[in-house]
Amino acid sequence: MPYPLTHLETNRLTFRALSIDDFDAWMPLFALDKVAIFLDMDQNLTQRECCQQWFDKSFHRLKNNQGVMNAIIDKQTGKLIGQCGLLIQTIQNTQRLEIGYSILPAFWGRGYACEAAIKCRDYAFSNNLADSLISAVHQDNIASEKVAIKNGMTLEKKVGSFHIFSITKERWKTAKSS
């Protein structure tokens, strides 16, 4: 499946493959309180352990065709500002295609997550990768909920401490044509 979106661009962003060389640049994400919880990780891990777990999981997903978080690069500065991609998730024993996104704290509040997530949504539906897409967001992660809503998603259900937002291809088509 064409989950690595390394050829995609938006007005401000370029998608590229995540590299082990991105490790040090990605570490600041895990210095913040609640980030491990928001990402469903053990909050007792160190910053470095969280980052290592993230990279191990990312490369495992890619190797096993379970989706991938792509590095997103600011076109103007060439800096890594976040990750976004399409991931296969199992939600209540059902495989779903998720749009995942994480932005480094220095770049929060600038609309990068929305811009990248919208590009992933449009790519997935335009290439018939799924009839619906989700974003699984921790119930306390209000900023990520706002991204899901701006991406045209609505709350589908609650699963544990996560809210599952979704959009169907039909709803996407309708919104696009209006």
Position 91 scores a pLDDT of: 93
Q: What is the pLDDT of residues 22-47, one digit of tens each?
A: 999 999 999 987 888 898 888 899 99
pLDDT band, residue 3 (cuts 50/70/90): low
* Residue 1 clears pLDDT 60, i.e. is over it: no
Q: Rounded mean pLDDT of 157-170?
A: 97
In this structure, the number of other CB atoms found within 10 A of the CB of residue 68 comes to 23
Q: What pLDDT is recorded for position 2?
A: 55
* List of domains in the chain: 13-177 (3.40.630.30)
The DSSP output letter for 89 is: E
Which residue type, as a one-letter code, is found at position 148? A
Q: How far apart are CA 148 and CA 101, in angstroms?
A: 10
**Which of residues 20 and 40 earns the better pLDDT score?**
20
pTM: 0.94
The per-residue pLDDT for range 91-141, each reduced to its tens digit, is 999 999 999 999 999 999 999 999 999 999 999 999 999 999 999 999 999
User: What's the pLDDT score for residue 32?
Assistant: 85
Neighbours of 40 (CB within 10 A): 11
